[in-house]
A and B are shown apart, each in its own frame.
Chain A
Amino acid sequence: MKVKVVTRILEANERIARENRRLFDNAALYVINLMSGPGAGKTSILEKTLTLNTGLRIGVIEGDIAGSDDAERIEKHGAPVVQINTGGACHLDANMIYEVLQDLPLQDLDLLFIENVGNLVCPAEFKVGEDIKVMVLSIAEGHDKPLKYPLMFQESSALLLNKIDLAPYLDVDINKIKKDALSLNPSLKIFEVSCKTGEGLSAWTDWLKEKALRS
């Protein structure tokens, strides 16, 4: 016999994401899901953000397939940090976040970064309870990336174009990256930054402050 199911396959994840969202709201916490391919500079962006005097109390959840290098880098800056090892999974899901929330002083934070597993595909598919998604693309990855990995560009509120100091040494067409990214997502906010030289980072932290304090 036929049985109607009519369920979203990711319903269980979305239910836990809503519970995370409720916990974040209770703590008046603004949450950013930070995504990129491996090596684009997510952790460096976070280190620079922690170094610049934003006045925000920032916590970090680090997601990696293995290892705790990133959490150790963040810890040196004095920010509360928890490392999640996904043990092979290509993205963080809502339950992985839920299980570590008790290890962070949520009430004492203004802003929580969830640094996702380095991957331009899957992290964009799974809600974790965040307010917004932000992605990093280093210009060395090439100007074809927005059209090859459209979903992440469509889902993100901001794009950090990192390693902009390398522009003179590369054949990459930065205007094409921006044009294609904006075609996919006209409301995308784009920052050209360099963690090496510090270029563009104050515009990013100004935007961040406005977002986090308005919540």
Chain B
Amino acid sequence: MHELSIAQNVLDIVSEQCIRSGHTKIDSVNLRIGRASGIMPDALIFAFNAIKTDSIAWDALLNIEEVPVTGLCHDCSSSFIVQEEYILNCPACKGCSFQIISGRELDIIDMEVS
């Protein structure tokens, strides 16, 4: 829902880092977005492409690696990966006591600059 403000944050961060590293153009940016982060990759790419035009990232490709929701069950000690965006029970023992390990990421990993 707020992909545009997330895209603006990404653009601000990578532009600053590109200039700080002594380069003038961003060719690509790699993000890691958790499936439970509430961010839709397609909408984020659309927003990024809309706002990048007058920046040093005007030609940059936004690559998004989606991270599945994974967790660790406190009852049966199994670790699990699910396709859903959230879980209510451990898929193995149906217990309710578990910890989410990944799936909420909203990270910039690296970028190609020239």
Report the separation of the CA atoms of residues A1 and B29 in the bound assembly, to the nearest whole angstrom. Answer: 12
Contacting residue for B96 out of A3, A150, A186, CB 8 A: A186
- Chain A residues near B107: list those with CB within 8 A: 6-9
Most central of A121, A124, A151, A186 by chain B CB within 10 Å: A151
If over half of A's interface residues share one DSSP class (helix, strand or loop), that class is named, otherwise mixed; here it is mixed
> Is A10 in contact with B38, judged by CB distance below 8 angstroms?
no
- Chain B residues near A121: list those with CB within 8 A: 1, 38
> Is A5 in contact with B85, judged by CB distance below 8 angstroms?
no
| Residues A122 and B1 in contact in the complex (CB < 8 Å), given A5-B13, A183-B89 | yes
What distance in Å separates the Cβ of A160 from its nearest Cβ neighbour in chain B? 22
Q: What residue of chain A has the Cβ atom nearest to residue B18's Cβ? A: A3
A125 is an interface residue with CB less than 8 A from chain B? yes
Report the separation of the CA atoms of residues A209 and B54 in the bound assembly, to the nearest whole angstrom. Answer: 52
- Chain A residues near B29: list those with CB within 8 A: 5
B9 is an interface residue with CB less than 8 A from chain A? yes
What distance in Å separates the Cβ of A157 from its nearest Cβ neighbour in chain B? 17
List CB contacts (< 8 Å) of B89-114 with chain A.
Answer: 89, 96-97, 106-114
Q: What residue of chain B has the Cβ atom nearest to residue A180's Cβ? A: B88
Q: What residue of chain B has the Cβ atom nearest to residue A146's Cβ? A: B88
> Is A9 in contact with B108, judged by CB distance below 8 angstroms?
yes
Leading 4 A-B pairs by shortest Cβ distance? A150-B86, A183-B88, A5-B108, A9-B106
Contacting residue for A3 out of B10, B21, B36, CB 8 A: B21
A4 is an interface residue with CB less than 8 A from chain B? yes
The contact string, 1 if C-beta is below 8 Å from chain B, for chain A 167-188, is 0000000000000100110100
> Is A5 in contact with B96, judged by CB distance below 8 angstroms?
no
> Is A3 in contact with B9, judged by CB distance below 8 angstroms?
no
- Chain A residues near B97: list those with CB within 8 A: 186
What distance in Å separates the Cβ of B87 from its nearest Cβ neighbour in chain A? 9
B60 is an interface residue with CB less than 8 A from chain A? no
